[in-house]
Structure formats: structure tokens, C-alpha cells
Chain A
Amino acid sequence: MSGADPTRLYRTVRLIRRFEERAIGLVRSGHIVGGIHPYLGQEGVAAGVCAALRPGDVVAGTHRGHGHVLAKGADPARMMAELCGRVTGLNRGRGGSMHAADFAVGVLGANAIVGAGGAIVTGAVWARRRRGEDLVGVSFLGDGAVNEGMLLEAFNLAALWRVPVLFVCENNGYATTMPVADAVAGSIPARAEAFGIRASTVDGQDPAAVHAGTAAALARMRSDGAPEFLEARTFRFDVHHTFEHAVRLDYRSPAEVTRGRSRDPVRIAGSRLSAAERAAVDADVEAVLETAVAQALAAAEPDPATALEYLYASGLTARTGGG
């Protein structure tokens, strides 16, 4: 098993970090409406997992999904345009932060419903393998999702029908304000083990460790077709959602936040590069995001007359709501 290219891992975590910081700026300036669930602090998980995937593999993300979409290879400019609700966005401005999808690179979509992605990606991987295609899938999920019945049903289907899906639980310690200790009876990996699914835990703050854990799981999955579960222990550096920038919710002590932020995936990945290599990546990322923001803000907003476009793939047209 070859290790991941440190430059690539650093570039991905740095891209996600700076993308989120720019996006938060655009939330503050009113260009992104509805806010976002920032991925800050968890960049190492998406970066490490996706670095172990092949282009034909598929992923399903979560409400905190920007990192998954970017790490799987979506164009940051089209992603930023999507957040800004522009016609040039990945979803032509119809999805926004919580539904960003890019089928061309195997992103079946972020999903705003906690625990919903697991069954969807299981069905997608099964259907493509039935055609003889060789692929695996990843279902990203939060620690909150492990208490959703539908996800546990999906574990059962994936295990029973031997569908190679890697369920990646990003355990950041909280579901909004609910601590894992108050929400999860038993343990998170034991949820999967109960279905005979192999489970492992990695340090989610270190993208190389996430990559190694993922690569080992994928190697087993590609050889025997069984699903796996990977718990990535991580920490959300910022708010659950940007609404919290205005409304302070009291659930994490400053000391806990300081401790959590002390293990920064960007710094950890960066420490494996020389200062010059790091500076080159940083400059490149800044240029990419500068262009992304400029293009997003320059792009057209969708015409209200097209609000119902894409509602039906069959071409059916819906009645409008007017009198």
C-alpha cells in the first residue's frame, strides 16, 4: 500500500480550509444566503478518504458537505457559484450548500437529512456493480447519524448484500449541541460491528492517517466486496452553522475549543512539506479561490421564470401557483 502524496493531501486540506474561510466571508457579506455548516477542522477526513478513491468511485456527503465535494474533485469555482446561487453553480443554483452535487466526479450529493446518504450510496454502488463495473462508494456521516434508524437499516443491507460501501463517521463530538456521550448508547464502531461490518478508528486530524486507514479498508473491500466502517475522530473548529456567529450557544467550553483547535489538520499536513513547497501550494490555492469568488460573484442569478426547471426529468411541466 503506497502512502498518499503529502503535497496532494496538504493542497486538499488547504483548499478546503481557505474555501470555507472565503465562504464564511461571503455569508457575512450577504452573498451567500442561508448560511453554511463550515467544515473547518475536519478537512483531514475528506482529504484523506478521497485521496484513496479512484475517479469512478462515488461518495455521498452530508449537510457539512463542502469538504467532501471539493476533495472528490469538483471545481471550486462552480462550487462557490453554487453557494452563491448562480446559474454557473454545480447545481445551477438549485441546490446550494446542503445539496451540492457533481455527478461527473462521482459526488451523488450532499444531503440535508441526517443519515439519509447511506442507503442511497449503497443502492448506487450495487446497481453499477451489477453491470460489471468495479467501484466502491463512501457514505460520509456525522456522529448524530448513528442514531438514525434508516442508516442502521442501510448497514444491514450493505452487509447482507455485500455492497462495498465505506461508511465514514466523522465523530466531531457533537450533533449540533448534543454531545456524543449523551446521545450514543454503546459505542459508535459497535453499531457497525453488530451487522458484521469491519470497523476501525483513525485520527481524523491527520490526513495521512485517514488516508492510510481508508486505503487499508478499501483494499479489503475491493478484494471481498464487503462494506466497512471507519470512525474518524475529529473536531469542528467553528460553529455548527453560521447562524451561531450571531447567536451564541453555550455547549463547548473555551478550554475544550482551544484544545480541539490545537490539532489542526492543515498544520499537520503542512509540516510534512518544506516551507517553499507549502508557500507554492498556498499561492496556488489563493489564486484558485480568488478566481472562484470573482467568477461566482460575476455570474448571473437564475431567471425566476425558470424556478421549476429540472423538477421532472420526464419533461412533465407543473402547474404554476398563480391565480
Chain B
Amino acid sequence: MPRLSYRKALNRALADELARDEEVFLLGEDIRVAASAVTAGLLKRFGPERVRDTPLSEQAFTSFATGAALVGARPVVEFQIPALLFLVFEQIVNHAHKFPLMTGGQCAVPVTYLVPGSGSRTGWAGQHSDHPYSLFAHAGVTTVVPATPADAYGLLVSAIRCDDPVVVFAPAAAMELRAEVGDPVPVPLGRGRVHRTGDDVTVVAVGHLVHDALAVADELAGEVSVEVFDPRTLYPFDWDGLLGSVARTGRLVVVDDSNRSCGIAGEVIATVVEQVRLQALPRRVTRPDGAVLPFAPALDRAVQPGRELLRQAITHVSKDG
């Protein structure tokens, strides 16, 4: 089977959707020359009208996309840095997201916001290393964090076809992954995936952390049988899929690259314990409260949820109760 890189999967999803639907176009900074590589070759194939380099005007081009979407276009907006989403949070949450309800259903805003390289990019320090997916889940904006090349392709395609705004976080730590992928296909939004079945503990892992969870599950294989659940879409969350898993295992650990307060891990635990009587207290492994990623690599790693903390959490939960 051919091997597909995560980055190439995003590129292929963009190319396929541009080819399939004339209403799709791309906006972003340095996308003509594909500084992030996800738009490589697209200018040549689709031209500058549909692969539009923007001035450094994130707020205006984000709302420009909203306006285009209001009249039927399907823009994809690339952001060079995850923190740029803070700059356009108002434009996404207060306008794109609110227009359908506020107009009483007169319009749709099918915009995709793509962040190739979210989370830590070792060495890029405080202002380039955020992972603000929980903010968008909180706001009720469809939010996806693909873990694998196949999901990167499939979720980006579904995001572009979705009639609502969708934020796609492509974690920097997953961008270089390669996997054998036959013919990549759309992946439905809001549907999780069990990467590994197990009987003792359900580990919910977000984005690149799926691979850490799988590695830890392998290491612990003799002692604990770990099920790894990848929600893939954080909002809307696949609660049925997760509750099915937890109902069987009775134990829950969440590993999430958000700051601890109000991160998606807190929501996952709250929702599960509202509905399932767990056999042990659940645990979460996250960034610390108010995390700012420091520059030095050892410090940067120290504030990210890592394998050691995850191992401890799984071991703890499996012995408890």
C-alpha cells in the first residue's frame, strides 16, 4: 500500500476539494509558495484566484471568508501560527458561528480554518506553541484534531464540505507522520475511533497524543489492557462512542494538550461521570494551568502531557477501586 504523510494528506484533501467544487478557494499567508507545504502545487493547478495569498490582515481575511461563505463560497483559511486564532477568535466565534442563528436560518457559513502545525513546535517558544482547540469546542464551533494521515485527509475533506465553520488543528507533532493509506476517504465529523481495544482502562487521547497513548498501552500490555479512544472531532464529541467504551472498561484517563482549567479533558470526564459509575476515580494528563511553553527544549517538554505522566495515570487508575 502507498505511504502517505500527514502533510501530504492535507495537501491532497485541499487539491481534491478544489478540483471537486468550484466554490472552494484558499486564503492565507505565503500559501502560493506553500511555506507550510500543505498548499504545495496548488497555485500552479488552480491559479491565484483560488489560491490567494493575503496581506498580514488576519481579522479582515477571516471575515472576508465569512462574507464569501454567506453567499455560497467554501473558503479554507490557513493560519501560520496557532496563536493567530486568538487574533481572529472574535471573527470566528462572534460572526461566522453566530450568523446562522442570529439570522433565523437565512444563511450558512461553511468556512474551514486550518492550522498546520498546532501545539509545540519545539524551539519556537511561547507565542508559537499554543493548542487552543478547547476554546473552540467551548464556543461550539466544530473542532477537529486528526491524529493520522488518513484522518487528516478524511476530516479536512469533511470540514470543507460541512455547512458550518470548522477549525482543523493539525498538530505539529503529527505533521511528519507517515502511514500506509490506500485510497483516502472522507471521515465523518463527530465520530471517534478506537485505535486499540482493551478491557481495563479507556484512554481518551487527542491528536498527536494518540500515538503516545498507543505506545504507553503497548508498554503496559502485560499489566493493563488499555483501550485507546481517539475522538477525532472534539466538538461535536462522539459521546456514544466513548460511553460505550467506558461502560465496558469502567475506568477513564484523558490525555489532552490543553491547559488544565476548562480544557476538553475536564469536559470529557464530567460528561462520563454524569452517565457512568466508574470503578475508579478518573484522571487527566494535561498542560498545567495557564501554561506558557518555555523556550528551552527540556522546559517545553516539561509542560506538555508526556508518556511518563500518562503511564502513571493509567497505572493509578487501574489499581484504584
Contacts and interface: CB of A to CB of B under 8 A. Distances in A.
Interface string A294-318: 0000000000000011111111101
Q: How large is the interface on B (under 10, 10 to 19, 20 to 34, 35 or more residues)?
A: 35 or more
A312 B165 CA distance: 9
Interface stretch (B66-74, B119-127, B297-305): B66-74
B67 A108 contact: yes
Of A108, A122, A123, A149, the most chain B CB neighbours within 10 A belong to A123
A150 B25 CA distance: 22
Nearest to A82: B104
Q: Which of B62, B64, B142 has the most CB of A within 10 A?
A: B64
Interface in A107-134: 108-109, 111, 113, 116, 118-128, 130
B55 interface: yes
Given A157-B57, A157-B61, A160-B55, A128 B104 contact: no
Given A120-B95, A310-B104, A313-B164, A127 B60 contact: no
Contacts of B69: 123, 127
A154 B60 CA distance: 5
B92 to A, nearest CB: 12
A58 B108 CA distance: 16
Interface residues of A, number: 46
A92 B67 CA distance: 21
A102 B102 CA distance: 11
A109 B162 CA distance: 23
A237 to B, nearest CB: 28
Contact of A156 (B57, B99, B105): B57
Contact of A120 (B66, B75, B105, B163): B66
B174 to A, nearest CB: 25
A90 interface: yes
Contact of A123 (B63, B142, B190): B63
A101 B103 contact: yes
A265 interface: no
A91 interface: yes
Interface in B71-115: 71-73, 75, 90-91, 94-95, 99-110
Nearest to A311: B101
Given A109-B99, A313-B163, A156 B108 contact: no
B236 interface: yes
B104 A116 contact: no
B55 A157 contact: yes
A94 interface: yes
Nearest to A103: B106
Contacts of A277: none
A85 B213 CA distance: 50
Contacts of A118: 60
B164 A156 contact: no
Given A119-B59, A153-B57, A313-B163, A91 B104 contact: yes
Interface string B33-61: 00000000000000001000011010111
B55 A156 contact: yes
A89 interface: yes
A99 interface: yes
B102 A123 contact: no
A93 interface: yes
B90 to A, nearest CB: 7
B68 A123 contact: yes
B170 interface: no
Contacts of A313: 100, 105, 107-110, 163-164
Contacts of A311: 100-101, 140
A171 B103 CA distance: 27
Contacts of A157: 54-55, 57, 60-61, 64
Contacts of B65: 123
Closest CB pairs A-B (n = 8) = A123-B67, A153-B60, A92-B104, A313-B108, A119-B63, A123-B64, A127-B68, A153-B57
Interface of A: 58, 89-95, 99, 101-103, 108-109, 111, 113, 116, 118-128, 130, 149-150, 153-154, 156-157, 160, 308-316, 318
Given A120-B66, A160-B55, 15 more contacts: A94-B104, A99-B103, A101-B102, A103-B106, A109-B102, A122-B67, A123-B66, A124-B67, A127-B67, A127-B69, A127-B72, A150-B59, A313-B110, A313-B164, A316-B236
11 contacts: A92-B104, A92-B105, A95-B104, A116-B91, A125-B67, A130-B73, A154-B64, A157-B60, A311-B140, A313-B100, A313-B105
